[in-house]
Structure 1
């Protein structure tokens, strides 16, 4: 890849695959590992792309303590007696020898000094009158370079520079030919770099110096060992923030585990739509399906692909679009909401994908303060997450931080992580989206590597993997499972109570409810008004709201608000006294599911599956016996779903230290919302019973 001059190249190679220097069988399996090589970075681009200008600026910017800068042609002149004049007289085979010696010399110098070499060079020359260009790289180039940066300068700019350059005489080259030349170099370099474990990236003219400086500094110190230390530091930060209170840690993969979607695939789909074109060489599927596999180098290359695709602002916008298209499994949302309430249980998402996407997804779910993301995607993140990193972080949580670790994953990349955990859960999605290679890898891990795991099937109607004897089924919402996650330090949860007793609005709303002369439809309407008020005043604050797009009356879109996960909320009217108030809540949350229930058994599993919140609505809570029975029944069906009891009036002692408070003390993710709290222990009968007053049945025995 070190240059010869275009005018004196003594042979023409019609295509890259015809190059006799490159026999693919010579890609040595035993060559030095990436991390053992001196860091040698090539600066490439067609003539006139600004390589020499950039090299000189980098020399001034970075200094020469840690970096050594080389013009490729000058290095050839240094190693060959007689310099470039003598080199130009040689035949092609002889030129190959001196090119190899030049790059070998650079590699040895930098291995001895510990400096990073930055070398300008050419990949091929291509006179416009020729049908194909001739590459000028050697096998030694491919075995020496660790990184190649390609200056992707618009052909129009390059052509203009050719016209304005008075120091170098270059053949006239059209913009069309320069475009074709650049595309050939980029395509062939990207392929070769992946075959030879060389990190490759396009660098656009925008912010060229700053970008290249940042990349060179990253290349200088980034090794697999450094990468792991950075990831471990990130994990430690998340654990230390909890001040040593954690005893149990949930380590969860992201893509196709927390959600059915693959955020990486969604990202590149967004990029394709934005660019209105698709470069298959720039997709993760092509990268990981190639020679690099799922290696450290492959994940580093993925980071460079993200870097060359978008600047920071555009990248964040793309991540926002992707996050908007990702829906977390409600079972995980419920579980993580429950974990968030515990002082001794923590959770961290460890993702090979995009950290920023999953932070945005967790933020939308209200979990970003308690669930941290260890992941990469940009050079600034400082590390990439590989299968080995995942396993190391689980081991560190268990061995260094002395925590009991639950690990959740879905693919072969998660198997090492699962094997290091105290408890391993394989998350199994629908057949058309789940990993196609997992069954065989999982079977091998169980039969030959000692893995012991259970499987959680999401959604619940998907078919299990393997068989349920070898890989037992569990449900993330079952009491038994939740108890096993939380059991290392049990702590009674107090009943959270929100009420509006002293507010003027509550005093006005409660008056018709207490007025003995108000019965029938007027009382029904009063209860509905209370339900609507509690929904908008207290429930929306307790559960949260989310923004969505609505059409503005002036003809443009604007932001509207609705209850957080309103469509995944079940409103249960406890019959018959709670129906009117429940209808008021329903009027506020019109996307929710409405369920009538006279007895706890009227609430079925299908009323809770896929839901995140249940609102139990009754007009009055006295002793709380009925509420306790409903809560216990719901918890038996779904151990983590949020339950909010909604009532017009609650008896004070029952919600503070009475039977209701005692019975519900062990239930987390539970709260009570009331219009008012009353010290009165009166229980209505006959003409004073709320249900009888609502439906004009006070005369019945």
Structure 2
């Protein structure tokens, strides 16, 4: 359809913005629709349904009347260009009131006016609307109903308009609103007159009120915790798997929309997701939330479930995965979680058909009722939670760019490579970059087995899911309570910035000590707070009342030990983050006495560099001999990677429980500093000493 409002205003309003709907601003929901669609009627129904505590309701024309001297009559007498500032003031006023009150605003408004004799509609939206609205609901009443309402409306004088013109008007508004919303981070959904309309819109508005990226992750993490609760205390290993094009060759999202298109004899829906994810929203949180709204407006619950059943019937899981999962299902110490950016309901049905629904839990979205959407960041966060909070050994399987961060967080990463003509090519360059520059270690498996390998097989070695050695490595027992828990920031940009002055040969003495101090504070706030936990306590608020603050869990029962002399500067940084903790210096293990440990719950051993780990082992063993159950956390700037992946440090500490190591980065460099390259000498300007 040609754009009926191809004017400069539309062109000026389509510059991409990066903000996410409802993440960093007041929630303002536009209720749009052509005149006669029932916006005012719906708004008046919503007021008693939702109440005034968390929501506030505005009739757009009434707000304009309130801000224009002389009211609506005066406004209507103005020239079109004179009306624009008042429209902007009206929406700005709503946005400010909403921000000040913390309530969600629901605002009726018009997108364009279009009389039948005009060739194109006259847009009446403003750039301020696009900057203020976080969501837009479009009330898409049947054109026949709208035409009849306009004829029956005795309170307003409206020109007679044909059904065909109203339909064309509605479609033009929808097309342009979808495009504008995708360029401005606004979530858009059509809603339809139906006996359940009030319930549907109320549910959406309640969801819009609280759903942010942080809320989204919290719900996904809760779903993960629920999936593990029945096996808590038994699991040691978890397999985390992407679904579409990983467990099966099919893309269930594409199949869903193709079936929608076929059932309605229309080609409009077939590329809906492709259009969405190729828009400026990309694969953001907002984009996946928009996808959920697309599914909401496409089908009611019953029809959606039927479509998911049809899609599931068209999916064939790779037999290699079926046999692996059947084998894993027999193991009490191994769990499986499918984490899908696609439709949870489809994969529930696929796994149920294969007899795997009890053993394999699906974490995914697709509908507002699911409570969350799965993004690349969510996938990575769930793997991190499995490792760092639940202390599981994690295998991750994926096929796309959306899986890369998840693969990087796992203990073992498997890239599933499909047939060349159907697999995604977008992963090729980012995957190799992650391997070459970001330390990713992964294997690839070919499904089907005659598929061509991806990239250099020396960098991305081949494995088969059915080979004996691979299956044994998955099924082997691992005690999640023993050994070394390692958390590090190697691949993070923060680590790259913090480590630069520590490696710069021109930085020494006080400046180097300041750099190490910053590293200590960062590791304390970024990792130690998660390893040990935080607790809530009352603090006086700047506005005069009391509120909640947070500090390290049992901070006063935490002992920070600076391993001399290289660890002192970092230890002071840790102490800055946890000012209530005890602090001592130790040049050798027996500098720590039972007196120091009495009444303590956690010991934090801080050193600058861990090479072979010999010194750390001695300190840990000494502390453990004095106190068998105290938590020990080793904090270091640099740790030699081999020492914690199977070297002397890992072996010597394998039997110690409640032991964690936190590092700024893991290094493959086995170099040990001496003289001018020794960290301690550089810290205190003693590099000239022998």
Is the structural similarity TM-score above 0.5? yes
2:135 matched to 1:147?
yes
Q: Equivalent residue for 1:311?
A: 300
Contact 1:14 1:133 in 2 (8 A): no
1:125-162 CA-partner distances (Å, limit 9, x unpaired): 00011111111000000011000000111001111111
Tell me which of 84, 102, 119 is aligned to 1:114: 102
2:276 matched to 1:290?
no
Tell me which of 118, 123, 127 is aligned to 1:135: 123
2:382 matched to 1:393?
yes
Alignment of 1:640-659 (within 5 A): none
Q: Equivalent residue for 1:212?
A: 201
Return the alpha-carbon distance in structure 2 between the equivalents of residues 193 and 388 of structure 1. Answer: 23
Return the alpha-carbon distance in structure 2 between the equivalents of residues 32 and 298 of structure 1. Answer: 9
Q: Equivalent residue for 2:79?
A: 91
1:84-119 CA-partner distances (Å, limit 9, x unpaired): 122122222221111111101111111111100000
Instruction: State the TM-score, normalized to the length of structure 1.
Output: 0.67
Q: Equivalent residue for 1:247?
A: 236
1:324-367 CA-partner distances (Å, limit 9, x unpaired): 00000011001111111001000000000000000000000000
Return the alpha-carbon distance in structure 2 between the equivalents of residues 302 and 208 of structure 1. Answer: 20
Q: Equivalent residue for 1:541?
A: none
Return the alpha-carbon distance in structure 2 between the equivalents of residues 187 and 28 of structure 1. Answer: 19
Q: Provide the secondary structure at the position in 1 that maps to 2:472.
A: helix
Return the alpha-carbon distance in structure 2 between the equivalents of residues 453 and 28 of structure 1. Answer: 35
Q: Equivalent residue for 1:484?
A: 473
Q: Equivalent residue for 1:300?
A: 289
Provide closer, same or farther for how the CA distance between residues 389 and 292 of structure 1 changes in structure 2, counting only shifts above 3 A. Answer: same
Alignment of 1:274-353 (within 5 A): 274-279=263-268, 283-353=272-342
Contact 1:281 1:287 in 2 (8 A): no
* Offset, 1:459: 0.6
Q: Which moved more, 1:76-85 or 1:458-467?
A: 76-85
2:352 matched to 1:382?
no
Q: Equivalent residue for 1:222?
A: 211
Structure 1 unmatched ranges of 5 or more = 1-12, 491-701
Q: Provide the secondary structure at the position in 1 that maps to 2:266.
A: coil
- Name segments (4+ residues, structure 1) moved above 4 Å: 24-29, 31-34
Q: Provide the secondary structure at the position in 2 that maps to 1:166.
A: coil
Q: Equivalent residue for 1:165?
A: 153
Q: Equivalent residue for 1:419?
A: 408
Q: Which moved more, 1:481-490 or 1:407-416?
A: 481-490
Tell me which of 353, 359, 369 is aligned to 2:358: 369
Instruction: State the TM-score, normalized to the length of structure 2.
Output: 0.68
Q: Provide the secondary structure at the position in 2 that maps to 1:17.
A: coil
Q: Which moved more, 1:249-258 or 1:442-451?
A: 442-451
2:441 matched to 1:445?
no
Contact 1:142 1:196 in 2 (8 A): yes
* Offset, 1:17: 3.0
Return the alpha-carbon distance in structure 1 between the equivalents of residues 16 and 192 of structure 2. Answer: 30
2:280 matched to 1:260?
no
Contact 1:249 1:347 in 2 (8 A): yes
Return the alpha-carbon distance in structure 2 between the equivalents of residues 318 and 78 of structure 1. Answer: 48
Provide closer, same or farther for how the CA distance between residues 282 and 146 of structure 1 changes in structure 2, counting only shifts above 3 A. Answer: farther
Contact 1:14 1:131 in 2 (8 A): no
Return the alpha-carbon distance in structure 2 between the equivalents of residues 152 and 93 of structure 1. Answer: 29
Return the alpha-carbon distance in structure 2 between the equivalents of residues 113 and 24 of structure 1. Answer: 28
1:211-262 CA-partner distances (Å, limit 9, x unpaired): 1001000000000000000000000001112132100000000000000000
Bigger Rg, which one:
1
Tell me which of 343, 346, 350 is aligned to 1:354: 343
Tell me which of 64, 69, 74 is aligned to 2:62: 74
Q: Equivalent residue for 2:395?
A: 406
Provide closer, same or farther for how the CA distance between residues 139 and 246 of structure 1 changes in structure 2, counting only shifts above 3 A. Answer: same
Return the alpha-carbon distance in structure 2 between the equivalents of residues 485 and 321 of structure 1. Answer: 33
Return the alpha-carbon distance in structure 2 between the equivalents of residues 274 and 32 of structure 1. Answer: 33
* Offset, 1:449: 1.4
Return the alpha-carbon distance in structure 1 between the equivalents of residues 201 and 278 of structure 2. Answer: 28
* Offset, 1:20: 3.5
2:194 matched to 1:198?
no
Return the alpha-carbon distance in structure 2 between the equivalents of residues 182 and 264 of structure 1. Answer: 27
Return the alpha-carbon distance in structure 1 between the equivalents of residues 16 and 354 of structure 2. Answer: 48
Alignment of 1:506-585 (within 5 A): none
Structure 2 unmatched ranges of 5 or more = 480-690
Q: Provide the secondary structure at the position in 1 that maps to 2:137.
A: strand
Return the alpha-carbon distance in structure 2 between the equivalents of residues 483 and 400 of structure 1. Answer: 25
1:573-606 CA-partner distances (Å, limit 9, x unpaired): xxxxxxxxxxxxxxxxxxxxxxxxxxxxxxxxxx
Return the alpha-carbon distance in structure 1 between the equivalents of residues 141 and 336 of structure 2. Answer: 45
Provide closer, same or farther for how the CA distance between residues 41 and 424 of structure 1 changes in structure 2, counting only shifts above 3 A. Answer: same
Q: Equivalent residue for 2:8?
A: 19
Q: Provide the secondary structure at the position in 2 that maps to 1:474.
A: coil
Contact 1:67 1:115 in 2 (8 A): yes
Return the alpha-carbon distance in structure 2 between the equivalents of residues 328 and 426 of structure 1. Answer: 16
Corresponding residue pairs, total: 477
